[in-house]
């Protein structure tokens, strides 16, 4: 408790004097640096201003370039050689993530001198190897690390700063950042006063709507440049979008595309003089609560309507590629918000409704999967679940009937609607199989 009070005193009582535009034009031949002119910060890469129009993800790089993107980010260094090579071939830049242990492992790792030294040597070798790669934009040390004030974290700060200083020495041509979850004044205070990073980066989803206000309110605390390293649709953590058994309700891919547009146009602080750019999440396909929640592509590499939305945001030009227009799904004529309970072994009817004249020309894939509750150390499961295989019969292309699983529990029925032009739309509805009486 006393450390918390000390933190509050330092945060709000210590007089802090900052001067705007502390970054000046860089002398020499630095490949990437930050400059500030007339109150505005900007990244400079190879002598030219560089506004990040990026995507968090490692695949579909050709498409990213075609629709106006210029940057990707990694969260670690696995496969970095191939990632940088592919990025360079597509004229894309890379924010390279350097993994740092967080949360449960912090005390264990940062107080282990041997482990810290091993990591330092490995990263020094890696920085030396890739510092002149043409695709490299900057280094990101850690992802969503906590930055507490407690003295027990002194080992963490010593390790963190030794790595930042090493990067600045070995590779002075590329800046260093770190990310936090949302705009957190306490974290920013500690990042500013206890680390040596060049700029801050923020991962934010639902709180994007408050970012501009926070930047203005706490400009006295941080008046330097910032990058939005993850933003996107509302995540599966909003309690008001749950069923009675606490399964999260997912929007259709068509509604998600609208949400990408609205969030960026209404809330992204693009006119803020300290804004370096942003990266949308997630450019690829991943399992997180569902296989479709954040996935802007499907497992076959087909593109969703979200790609068209990003093309418009990055280029101000609408895509000529048409995607299926999907409204919603009904399960036994009920929607997800109706809390669909099913008897085990009963016949279930599912149908998807489209506002699309070409609906009968599309291909439809239906799946029933168990609900994905699985987490390790509060981390989402990243492995796709195996679909259950109940008996199915057709109701025309836009619907099916299937036999409900016999085992009690939470499930979802998914539909993938695919066009002939490598596009797709998707929707799912959660349901609960009741116990046998």
Give 149-174 as a DSSP string. Answer: --GGGHHHHHHHHHHHHHHHHH-TTS
Find all residues with CB under 8 Å of 433, minimum gap 6, and list them: 342, 343, 344, 404, 405, 406, 407, 408, 409, 410, 411
d(CA 418, CA 304): 9
Domain ranges of the chain: 2-315, 326-433
Q: Would you state the CATH architecture of domain 2-315? A: Alpha-Beta Barrel (3.20)
CATH 2.60.40.1220 is right for the domain spanning 326-433 = yes
Q: Which residues neighbour 290 within 8 Å (Cβ) at sequence distance 6 or greater? A: 236, 250, 372, 412, 414, 428
Separation of alpha carbons 262 and 253, rounded Å: 14
pLDDT given at position 393: 81
Beta bridge mates, 363: 418
Return d(Cα 409, Cα 35) in angstroms, integer. 56
Q: Note down pLDDT in tens along the chain; length 437 residues.
A: 443 444 444 444 443 333 456 555 554 577 999 999 988 999 999 999 999 999 999 999 999 999 999 999 999 999 999 999 999 999 999 999 999 998 767 878 998 999 999 999 999 999 999 999 999 999 999 999 999 888 878 899 999 999 999 999 999 999 999 999 999 999 999 999 999 999 999 999 999 999 999 999 999 999 999 999 999 999 888 777 899 999 999 999 999 999 999 999 999 999 999 999 999 999 999 999 999 999 999 999 999 999 999 999 999 999 999 999 999 999 999 999 999 999 999 999 999 999 888 888 999 999 999 999 866 666 778 888 899 987 788 777 899 999 999 999 999 999 999 999 999 999 999 999 999 87
């Amino acid at each position: 408790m006393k450390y918390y009070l000390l933190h509050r005193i330092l945060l709000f009582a210590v007089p802090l004097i900052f001067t705007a535009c502390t970054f000046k034009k860089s002398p020499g031949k630095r490949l990437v640096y930050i400059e500030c002119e007339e109150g505005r910060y900007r990244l400079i890469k190879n002598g030219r201003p560089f506004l990040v129009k990026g995507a968090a993800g490692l695949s579909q790089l050709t498409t990213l370039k075609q629709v106006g993107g210029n940057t990707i980010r990694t969260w670690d260094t696995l496969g970095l050689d191939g990632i940088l090579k592919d990025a360079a071939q597509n004229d894309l830049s890379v924010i390279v993530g350097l993994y740092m242990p967080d949360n449960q492992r912090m005390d264990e790792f940062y107080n282990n001198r041997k482990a810290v030294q091993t990591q330092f040597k490995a990263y020094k070798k890696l920085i030396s190897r890739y510092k002149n790669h043409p695709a490299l934009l900057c280094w990101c040390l850690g992802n969503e690390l906590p930055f507490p004030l407690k003295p027990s974290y002194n080992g963490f700060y010593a390790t963190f700063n030794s790595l930042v200083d090493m990067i600045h020495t070995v590779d002075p041509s590329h800046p260093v950042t770190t990310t936090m979850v949302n705009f957190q004044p306490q974290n920013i205070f500690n990042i500013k006063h206890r680390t040596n990073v060049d700029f801050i980066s923020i991962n934010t989803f639902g709180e994007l709507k408050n970012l501009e206000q926070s930047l203005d309110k706490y400009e006295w605390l941080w008046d330097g440049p910032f990058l939005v390293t993850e933003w996107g649709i509302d995540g599966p953590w909003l309690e008001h979008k749950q069923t009675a058994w606490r399964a999260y309700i997912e929007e259709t891919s068509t509604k998600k595309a609208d949400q990408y547009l609205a969030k960026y146009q209404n809330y992204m602080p693009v006119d803020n003089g300290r804004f370096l750019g942003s990266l949308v999440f997630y450019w690829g396909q991943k399992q997180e609560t569902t296989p479709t929640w954040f996935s802007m592509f499907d497992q076959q590499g087909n593109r969703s309507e979200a790609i068209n939305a990003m093309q418009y945001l990055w280029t101000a030009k609408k895509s000529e590629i048409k995607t299926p227009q999907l409204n919603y799904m009904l399960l036994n004529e009920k929607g997800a918000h109706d809390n669909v309970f099913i008897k085990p072994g009963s016949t279930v009817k599912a149908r998807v409704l489209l506002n699309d004249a070409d609906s009968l020309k599309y291909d439809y894939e239906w799946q029933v999967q168990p609900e994905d509750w699985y987490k390790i150390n509060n981390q989402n499961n990243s492995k796709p679940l195996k679909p259950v295989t109940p008996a199915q019969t057709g109701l025309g292309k836009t619907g099916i009937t299937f036999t409900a699983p016999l085992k009690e529990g939470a499930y979802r029925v998914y539909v993938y609607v695919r066009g002939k032009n490598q596009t797709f739309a998707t929707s799912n509805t959660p349901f609960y199989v009741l116990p046998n009486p």
